Structure 1
Amino acid sequence: MNRITCDADLEEGMAALRPLHPGWTAIIERTGLPPLRRREGGFRGLVAIIVSQQVSVASARAILARVETVLAPLTPERVLAASDEEMRLSGLSRPKQRSLRAVAGAIAAGSLDFSLLEDASPERIHEHMTAVPGIGPWTADVYLMFCLGHRDGFAAGDLALQEAARVGFGLAARPSTRELAALAEAWRPWRGVAARLLWAYYAALKNREGINA
């Protein structure tokens, strides 16, 4: 697996993306070097991704800290043994509680094996992860990009990426998941760097221009 592990990898990807579309030059000039955004993998890494779905970064951190306190030590076994009251006290929404229990159950049953993901293709990783209830394409994409560091991972269903692409490439409307995936085909094998740039660009737009997703 080709991984993004350091700033030099980001710089290599940025150099490859620049000539593909004039929009990339403007995006890169606005963002500079984007954050590497690597994170811990395995069960805890996946839990953090599930917690972060559809909430702000600050909220995700607060909820994850609460989950780690209430369900200490944070392991699949501890989640499976948790009472309904403990899950409620963790601060997780009902759907996220179900997702965590499903993930913990899949790990216990051997149907979710993180070791199989280390050298698998993006397609195989998607297939393996999304077979677990509660793990959708976005969650699998984010795990692929930030926990595994795959340089060609890309979350076409992410609204921030879609909005950043709309502005950065002068599109008439925010692209759908399918439309953004098609657009991103030209960015292979550096879609992971493209995603980081677009997230950084979206953050710049939101902070300075009030763009809403």
Structure 2
Amino acid sequence: MNPSLHSCLIDLPAHFRCQDILAFHRRDSQQLAEQVEGDALRKGLLWAGQPACLSIRFTAGQATAELAIDGPSTAPRRKSPWGTGTAATLNLLAQRLLGLTQPVDAFAAAYRDHPQLGRLLAERPGLRVPQTATPFEALSWAVTGQQISVHAAVAVRRKLIQTTGSQHSSGLWCYPDAAQVAASSEAELRQAGFSQSKAATLFALARQVADGQLPLDDWLACETASLPVDAIREQLLQVRGIGPWTVNYALLRGFGWLDGSLHGDVAVRRKLQHLLGANAPLSERQTAAWLDEFKPWRALVGAHLWAMPL
């Protein structure tokens, strides 16, 4: 099979933290769908329904993105937020994956002198939140990780990809889109390691996305400033098994929205306790109250707390 090839070159800002991006895609040690070698990553994904391999290589001040799409150019394609594989849409995808659409310099300028947060900003200048290829990937990963360890969630994610995804000619597996998950069954999701409740939630989400009730791709096409966050939140919370943490995580990883309060995140609360020097664990209410000071950047503050060593 001769894949269709596309490429683009992206200039990176000063203090760009490529190691954060590489670490995010290094979560699965078996490298089923993402591979990281040196200063480069390869990720299997679906591009308008076709298996594709995205490669990003970092050099001094630049990133080179290449996309290899399987199948003839005339093959039927499902609707995709990224179009049909032009350099312009590849550039847009790569910039989002790298967090380059996030105005982190304005955030740093506003809070570099803050008594607690200022120290975190100085330790990790330019920190950005790596994003998923699609909002569905972020949302389904959030469901997968509910109330289990990252290690366990990665194992379930791997089985989900093998059960419902497809394989690129390079050998990498592609994270499934909503149509593929909706074409499976709750029983198959259970076999992939999901609990009964999580399988029902993920299957319901996939069906609603696939039939257009949850127009994730349409929302993704919005500018961040005009993202209908309230409408997204309202619709997602109507799905049984979706709570505020899942919504805010999906908005952050899938849409780059930086103001979702992550006070429900155990790691955020634990690290905030350490940052503040509190003797007792902080409640969700206490954490939410502290994060409220940083609107409209609460999720980005949460990301700095995630990155903070204990």
Q: TM-score range by the shorter chain?
A: 0.7 to 0.9
Deviation at 1:121, TM superposition (A): 4.4
User: What amino acid is the match of 2:291?
Assistant: A
Q: Runs of 5+ in structure 1 lacking a partner? A: 206-213
| C-alpha contact (below 8 Å) 1:70/1:86 kept by paired residues | yes
For 1:18, the equivalent position in structure 2 comes to: 112
For 2:289, the equivalent position in structure 1 comes to: 182
For 1:166, the equivalent position in structure 2 comes to: 273
RMSD of Structure 2 on Structure 1 (CA): 2.7
| C-alpha contact (below 8 Å) 1:152/1:191 kept by paired residues | yes
Distance 1:7 1:28 in 2: 18
Per mean C-alpha deviation after superposition, the further-off stretch among 78-87 and 151-160 is 78-87
| C-alpha contact (below 8 Å) 1:41/1:143 kept by paired residues | no
For 1:87, the equivalent position in structure 2 comes to: 189
Q: Runs of 5+ in structure 2 lacking a partner? A: 1-95, 167-175
For 1:208, the equivalent position in structure 2 comes to: none
Per mean C-alpha deviation after superposition, the further-off stretch among 162-171 and 33-42 is 33-42
Q: Does 1:67 align with 2:160?
A: yes
Structure 2 CA distance for partners of 1:180 and 1:134, relative to 1, 3 Å: same
Distance 2:181 2:236 in 1: 18
For 1:36, the equivalent position in structure 2 comes to: 129
Distance 1:37 1:82 in 2: 29
Q: Does 1:6 align with 2:106?
A: no
Per mean C-alpha deviation after superposition, the further-off stretch among 111-120 and 37-46 is 111-120
More relative contact order, 1 or 2 (CA 8 Å, 6+ apart) = 1
TM-score for both structures, normalised by structure 2: 0.56
User: What amino acid is the match of 1:102?
Assistant: A
> Residue by residue, what CA displacement relative to the aligned partner does 1:102-127 show, whole Å, maximum 9, x if unpaired?
21233355432212464334433322
Per mean C-alpha deviation after superposition, the further-off stretch among 3-12 and 75-84 is 3-12
SS in structure 2 at match of 1:19: coil
Q: What is the 5 A alignment of 1:119-138?
A: 119-138=226-245
Distance 1:15 1:59 in 2: 38
Larger radius of gyration: 2
Q: What is the 5 A alignment of 1:40-55?
A: 40-55=133-148
Distance 1:182 1:188 in 2: 11
Distance 1:109 1:179 in 2: 40
Structure 2 CA distance for partners of 1:85 and 1:185, relative to 1, 3 Å: closer
Structure 2 CA distance for partners of 1:6 and 1:84, relative to 1, 3 Å: closer
TM-score for both structures, normalised by structure 1: 0.79
Deviation at 1:134, TM superposition (A): 1.8
Per mean C-alpha deviation after superposition, the further-off stretch among 137-146 and 10-19 is 10-19
Distance 2:287 2:307 in 1: 17
Per mean C-alpha deviation after superposition, the further-off stretch among 153-162 and 84-93 is 84-93
Distance 2:102 2:235 in 1: 30
Distance 2:136 2:196 in 1: 19
Per mean C-alpha deviation after superposition, the further-off stretch among 33-42 and 144-153 is 33-42
Structure with the bigger percentage of strand: 2
> Residue by residue, what CA displacement relative to the aligned partner does 1:91-145 show, whole Å, maximum 9, x if unpaired?
2222211111221233355432212464334433322211111221111000111
Structure with the bigger percentage of helix: 1
Per mean C-alpha deviation after superposition, the further-off stretch among 135-144 and 10-19 is 10-19
| C-alpha contact (below 8 Å) 1:18/1:24 kept by paired residues | yes
SS in structure 2 at match of 1:60: helix
